[in-house]
Amino acid sequence: MRFLPRHLPGAFTYLPQQSGYNKRLRTAVPLLKHVIRMLAHDTDLWTDATWVVDSTPVECGRSRETTKRSELAGWAGYGYCSSHSRFFWGLRLHLVCTPAGLPITWALANPKIDERQVLMAILDHDPSVLADRPGLLIIADKGYVSRELDAFLADRGVQLLRPNYRNRAPHPAEHLLKPVRQLIESVNDTLKGQLDLELHDGRTIDGVTARIAQRILALTAAIWHNRATGQPITRSLIAYDH
């Protein structure tokens, strides 16, 4: 929208104004999701037998009036971010990715909804991601401790590895969890620090979904390009951060 009129004047016979662009963006959500999956599937990382899952806040407003009048009210809600010791009003982005940061699948949900329920809903909604993945291991934090979730994943041939509570015997490989868990924190930091995840400016359900999908698509496209061109750092966005 900013680049074309200045650098390529006359190259396009018609460019939509901001309102028209936003309308097209909202209707393009299925296309954005399709391209995310297409690019992810086209990398060697897609067949990785280890996944990492976590959720991160997506703030949608701060004033009390916003929480009452916003079209997001009812979908968005109040939640608590323990990483930053703060409450927020908005959504949570639940992201399943490989240790290299490649997004496998994702969802936006009210922060009051249990993370374990969201993960099961994600995998139920898109069972194709579990197809042909023998020995798949999902690494998570303590928030995913649940017999129901363990049984759900076991029925699908998936193993879940996460820290146990203090009153339970630790898993033999628990000492390996911390460095792996830091990987998804790094992915979230990329989404927020370089792709402005929480500065989406969405005001409707479709608007927020489209803007979050944009950022996940940008991350996926960068990883796809870096793998295809043999770049030394898979998730680096420095070359595109301008």
Listed residue (200, 230, 229) closest to 215, CA to CA: 200
In the chain, the domains with their CATH numbers are: 26-240 (3.30.420.10)
Encoded tokens for 30: 């299925």
The stretch 18-28 carries a mean pLDDT of 86
Please state, rounded to an integer, the average pLDDT across all residues of the chain.
Answer: 87
**Integer Cα distance of 193 and 212 in angstroms:** 14
Instruction: Report which of residues 172 and 53 the model is more confident about.
Output: 53
The per-residue pLDDT for range 24-81, each reduced to its tens digit, is: 888 999 999 999 999 999 999 999 999 999 999 999 888 887 777 788 888 888 998 8
The stretch 3-14 carries a mean pLDDT of 85
Output phi, psi for 81, to 5 deg.
-105, 105
Buried b (16+ CB within 10 A) or exposed e, 178-214: eeebebbeebbebbbebbebeebebeebbbbbbbbbb
**Residue type for 213, please?**
A
The per-residue pLDDT for range 85-116, each reduced to its tens digit, is: 889 999 999 999 999 999 999 999 999 999 99
The per-residue pLDDT for range 116-139, each reduced to its tens digit, is: 999 999 999 998 899 888 889 999
Strands 86-97, 103-109: parallel, antiparallel or unpaired by DSSP?
antiparallel
**Residue 73: DSSP 8-state:** B
Give residue 167's Cα distance to chain centre.
32
Encoded tokens for 49: 């037998």
The stretch 183-189 carries a mean pLDDT of 85
| Cβ atoms of 113 and 143 closer than 8 Å | no
